[in-house]
Structure 1
Amino acid sequence: MPDTPNSPGNRKSSITEQTLSLGDRQIRYTAFAQWQTLFEHEKPVAEMFHVAYLAEVEQATLRPLTFVFNGGPGAASAYLHMGALGPKRVYFGSDGSLAKPPVRVVDNVESWLSFTDLVFIDPIGTGFSRSLAQDDKDTKQSEKANSGEAEKPKETEFWEVERDLKALGEFIGRFLSSHQRWLSPIFIAGESYGGFRVARLARKLQQEFGVGLCGAIVISPALEFSLLAGSDYNLTAWATLIPSFAASAAHHNRVQWAAEQGNLQAHIAAAEQFARTTLIPLLAMGDTMTPDERQTAYQQMAGLIGLPVELIERLGGRIGIEIFARELLRDQQRIVGLYDASITAIDPFPGRVNYEGSDPTLDGLDRLFTGAINSHLRDTLGVETDLSYHLLNLETFKAWKFELKGEFKQGFLGSVDDLRVGMALNPYMQVYIAHGLFDLVTPYFASKHLADMMKLNPHIRPNLTVKHFLGGHMFYTWDESRCLWLAQMKAFYDNATA
């Protein structure tokens, strides 16, 4: 059967009974691997694939229920599903290093199933989720095919900000209805662009779908797109990168920080202070800063992030992630990962001006998670389908419409305003933002900076927690960080449901 969005006939739900052993106790649970239909004007338009793990307890309504998704946009939920939260996980080295083939899937004793039921959602176009053909659209598509015009995937109507959020909101409401869980403590968790989704849904679920949240977990998020790329005129983005550069340089022994006696936290605290009080004024003042003052700042930056002062001076203190990733270990002809700068790889073309190799973190993960999720769904959970599992759909990413509200649709996309409104609407909702120190793509200091800028009312400011861990974008692949995160999340859930 072809892998097309028009083939729902092979989509058979799978419901199995499973057991998770946590050493001191066992959790019996039911695993639902199913497609849920989405509707538009009461007509089916898509089928969203999801895997739900619901523990066998006397009063299921009292047990927390967490909806989980990843980002991209275009990423399936397999990263959080098989990396940290689910009952099975991919095996990594203790420091998050990639294991050699073949892929190993192990029991996850740090699974969140120990304190919450879990629902992993694959947005349309990712995983096994597909849109459905419509009769009136079939005719149009046929006409396009006859005219020689390229046919676009039908999923594209879901590949924009508001339609995506609406689909997730509809899914959550329908799931609560079908499983009689409207009275359960409800949480949402998302990684990367999924963190953006969480922040937006913190408001939208309440206002448009009537879903109240006990908690929102935001993991390695991109909350404000203005902080993803700096320019000559957008200054803050450059500053938010500095602490992650400093942490990464210290990890690779590229900085002289004897005064801190090997204290990583003291080093990144110094980098945070430099970013706020020295770099932003340096960039903002432009040519009005004296050459001596500018040189002093460049020397200080070089001592923090481990790059030559001549390079920093030439770039005027504006150091992008690609520059840092290639230059930090250039003398070893190695490059550090953008998503986890603690991981390195050989630069295959060290003599070329631009880096032309693959990212050692994101690209290296594909073989692990593709093998793990396919084995888990098809073998362990018994899903029978000829559809391909889209782990990371680049077509989705390339086609995504990052459109803004308003008449002019100018500026950067953001989600912090929605998070602020959501927290004000529901002063009981707890929010937890987590990052990895070595993540250069979504640096931890960006979220820390935004939290300081939110001007939350003193009554709800304690509801917001921002933490960072050793590791990169997927810091939970580090054993130490995953265990520490688990302990903190147990306390977070206890507090949110008290």
Structure 2
Amino acid sequence: MQVLVPYIKPLIGIWLMSVAIHCHGATAQQNDSNVSPKVFTSEHKVKIAGTSLSYTAIAGETWLKDEQGLPTAAIWSTSYVKKGKSKRARPVTFIFNGGPGASSMGLHIGLLGPKIVELPDLVNGDDGVAPYNLIDNPNSLLAVSDLVFVDPVGTGFSHVIGKGKNQDFWSMGGDTQSMADFIHQWITDNQRWNSPKHILGLSYGTTRAVDVAYFLSAHYGMDVNSLMLLGSALEMAALSPVDNNFMAYFSFVPTMAAVAHFHGKAGQGKTLAEFTAEAETFVINELMPALIMGSRLSKEQKNQVAQRYADFTGLSRDYILKSNLKILIPNYRKELLRDQGLTLGRGDGRITGMEYNNAADSPLIGDPVDYKSSGIYGASFYQYLSTLGVEMDRKYNVWNTQVGKYWDWSPDIKAYSNPQRYRVAKRVGIIEVGSKLGKLMRWNTDLDVFVASGWYDLVTPLFDTKRTFSSNGIVPERVNIHHYSSGHRLWLDVPTQSELLNDLTNFYQLSE
């Protein structure tokens, strides 16, 4: 598993960005018994689908406590609650981003909140400069559900306090319990036990969403109505593009075909759906058997598979043969448009950047999706906090690299009743929650699942999403998989924003 860990970090569901947004105000001494959680409340209106909606915004801390009642962490969240006489029957949705190490900022002002950033055309190269505009979100989910954006420990303003230690929270087990405890506390404080409850996550946030829903059901007797999983990452192995990881050699190929189709390198004259479907058939019927055969494959067979591989990905047959039919995503990102001096975005294969070394075997200066979008959201969120009346004396961690650096990826021993199975899982690095989702859907026969995948997502590819949701005991009749012309962070494509939000709005009605 150690070889996979460095490549799990790109499952961030938000740009790799060290920008820290600083907010100023009075400081709170963590050990002062007179100090209470900081909370900022304000009233607002927004126009959604042409209708004016009044809501209360509550941005602030919730303190988690240990069994002795002593605080261990301050969890920062921003809640949007529609004003009205009765809230008990109104849905509430808890929202997480990924990483581990990402705050909820991207989903907050990128897609779901009442205010979002007005985007420039990133796909065609316009990354824009300040000033940026925050506009009413015409399709915000606030129309159908109250929204709670949550920042795990080490992200946003969330941090350990009292006797808490970062390592208590920087693991799958610790992170899951803290987020489940937060949801339990929020539901109790706001008297919303009878409200329909939903969890939405992006990237590692989908791992978290499933694990938290499982924990809530098993430990708190709290069932959720639905899970909404964007850029799902329920099994980590196939999402880790490193040498000698067998699944990484085929799980990304249909997405490579989609990217090659977009750039005019393959599949011309065919629709995107047709071409990627053919690529999936190639992977299942030809590439996987060839990879299993390895050196036992005849030269003629290998040449034939390599040519077919080239036809789908836009790479040359010679390059594929030199790679021994094993193309990893970093190599593909550099090779496809090498003749133009361009490298592909990992978060969205349509977005390209220009690097200084065209002879390198992989990108050298990062993901153009990240460096072309980070400034837009960083500056905009900084400005937005002031409209919520937030005054803090510590930095807002948009993306905290320390979380991923010190994250403990050991499997949660509580998930294994047999100690021997735990030892095996730890030895081979099994990190997955798909089996938990399968069990959860059998415990809760009303649980519906919404899955959103981008055609051009080179982080959590669509083919692997289909594979994951076709196994693990997951109930297919209650899973809704949607494809969008976007990448990993689906909101970076403007047309996708409205399409996705419309689909999500309809899904709420299905899951009632």
TM-score (norm 1): 0.90
Name the CA shift for 1:110/1:363 in 2 (closer, same or farther; >3 Å).
same
Q: Which residue of 2 aligns with 1:143?
A: none
Output the CA distance in 2 between the equivalents of 1:251 and 1:355: 20
Letter in 2 for 1:391: V
Following TM superposition, by how much is the alpha carbon of 1:234 offset from its aligned partner in structure 2, in angstroms?
4.0
Instruction: Please say if residues 50 and 120 of structure 1, whose CA atoms lie closer than 8 Å, have aligned partners that are also in contact.
Output: yes
In structure 1, the residue corresponding to 2:427 is in which secondary structure?
coil
Following TM superposition, by how much is the alpha carbon of 1:455 offset from its aligned partner in structure 2, in angstroms?
4.1
- Residue 19, structure 1, aligned to residue 45, structure 2: yes
How many correspondences in the alignment?
472
Output the CA distance in 1 between the equivalents of 2:322 and 2:156: 45
Instruction: Please say if residues 95 and 479 of structure 1, whose CA atoms lie closer than 8 Å, have aligned partners that are also in contact.
Output: no
- Residue 365, structure 1, aligned to residue 373, structure 2: yes
Output the CA distance in 1 between the equivalents of 2:151 and 2:207: 16
| Aligned match for 1:277, one of 257, 272, 285 | 285
Letter in 1 for 2:441: M
Following TM superposition, by how much is the alpha carbon of 1:173 offset from its aligned partner in structure 2, in angstroms?
0.3
Q: Which residue of 1 aligns with 2:455?
A: 437
In structure 2, the residue corresponding to 1:286 is in which secondary structure?
helix
Output the CA distance in 2 between the equivalents of 1:61 and 1:413: 37
Q: Which residue of 2 aligns with 1:90?
A: 117
In structure 2, the residue corresponding to 1:434 is in which secondary structure?
strand
Name the CA shift for 1:4/1:31 in 2 (closer, same or farther; >3 Å).
closer
Instruction: Please say if residues 26 and 392 of structure 2, whose CA atoms lie closer than 8 Å, have aligned partners that are also in contact.
Output: no
Instruction: Please say if residues 92 and 98 of structure 1, whose CA atoms lie closer than 8 Å, have aligned partners that are also in contact.
Output: no
Output the CA distance in 1 between the equivalents of 2:373 and 2:37: 27
Letter in 2 for 1:296: Q
- Residue 477, structure 1, aligned to residue 477, structure 2: no
Instruction: Please say if residues 97 and 103 of structure 2, whose CA atoms lie closer than 8 Å, have aligned partners that are also in contact.
Output: yes
Q: Could you tell me the percent identity over the aligned residues? A: 29
For structure 1, list consecutive stretches of 5 or more residues without a partner in the other structure: 138-153
In structure 2, the residue corresponding to 1:34 is in which secondary structure?
strand
Output the CA distance in 2 between the equivalents of 1:496 and 1:303: 42
Instruction: Please say if residues 32 and 53 of structure 1, whose CA atoms lie closer than 8 Å, have aligned partners that are also in contact.
Output: yes
Following TM superposition, by how much is the alpha carbon of 1:435 offset from its aligned partner in structure 2, in angstroms?
1.2
| Aligned match for 2:239, one of 219, 228, 232 | 228
Following TM superposition, by how much is the alpha carbon of 1:352 offset from its aligned partner in structure 2, in angstroms?
4.0
Output the CA distance in 2 between the equivalents of 1:230 and 1:496: 35
Q: Which residue of 1 aligns with 2:482?
A: 467
Q: Which residue of 2 aligns with 1:496?
A: 511
- Residue 394, structure 1, aligned to residue 401, structure 2: yes
Name the CA shift for 1:3/1:294 in 2 (closer, same or farther; >3 Å).
farther
Q: Which residue of 2 aligns with 1:249?
A: 260
Letter in 2 for 1:93: P
Instruction: Please say if residues 177 and 212 of structure 2, whose CA atoms lie closer than 8 Å, have aligned partners that are also in contact.
Output: no
Output the CA distance in 1 between the equivalents of 2:360 and 2:506: 50
Letter in 2 for 1:273: T
In structure 2, the residue corresponding to 1:168 is in which secondary structure?
helix
Name the CA shift for 1:353/1:423 in 2 (closer, same or farther; >3 Å).
closer
In structure 2, the residue corresponding to 1:410 is in which secondary structure?
helix
Following TM superposition, by how much is the alpha carbon of 1:354 offset from its aligned partner in structure 2, in angstroms?
4.7
Q: Which residue of 1 aligns with 2:16?
A: none
| Aligned match for 1:403, one of 410, 420, 423 | 410
Larger displacement relative to structure 2 (106-115 or 42-51): 106-115
Following TM superposition, by how much is the alpha carbon of 1:333 offset from its aligned partner in structure 2, in angstroms?
0.5
- Residue 32, structure 1, aligned to residue 32, structure 2: no
Name the CA shift for 1:314/1:212 in 2 (closer, same or farther; >3 Å).
same
Letter in 2 for 1:78: M
Following TM superposition, by how much is the alpha carbon of 1:23 offset from its aligned partner in structure 2, in angstroms?
4.9
Name the CA shift for 1:289/1:5 in 2 (closer, same or farther; >3 Å).
farther
Letter in 2 for 1:118: L
CA RMSD of aligned residues (A): 2.0
Q: Which residue of 2 aligns with 1:173?
A: 184
For structure 2, list consecutive stretches of 5 or more residues without a partner in the other structure: 1-24, 414-421
Letter in 1 for 2:319: L
Output the CA distance in 1 between the equivalents of 2:236 and 2:370: 20
Q: Which residue of 2 aligns with 1:342?
A: 350
Following TM superposition, by how much is the alpha carbon of 1:133 offset from its aligned partner in structure 2, in angstroms?
2.9
Q: Which residue of 2 aligns with 1:156?
A: 167
Q: Which residue of 1 aligns with 2:153?
A: 124
Name the CA shift for 1:43/1:388 in 2 (closer, same or farther; >3 Å).
same
Output the CA distance in 2 between the equivalents of 1:373 and 1:211: 33
Following TM superposition, by how much is the alpha carbon of 1:442 offset from its aligned partner in structure 2, in angstroms?
1.2
Output the CA distance in 1 between the equivalents of 2:168 and 2:251: 34
Q: Which residue of 2 aligns with 1:145?
A: none
Letter in 2 for 1:133: G
Following TM superposition, by how much is the alpha carbon of 1:7 offset from its aligned partner in structure 2, in angstroms?
8.1
Name the CA shift for 1:2/1:440 in 2 (closer, same or farther; >3 Å).
farther
C-alpha distance after superposition, 1:241-297 (max 9, x if no partner): 011101111111111433x2xx11111111111111111111011122222122111
Output the CA distance in 2 between the equivalents of 1:355 and 1:433: 30
In structure 1, the residue corresponding to 2:487 is in which secondary structure?
coil
Q: Which residue of 2 aligns with 1:423?
A: 441
Output the CA distance in 1 between the equivalents of 2:27 and 2:401: 16
Output the CA distance in 1 between the equivalents of 2:467 and 2:235: 11
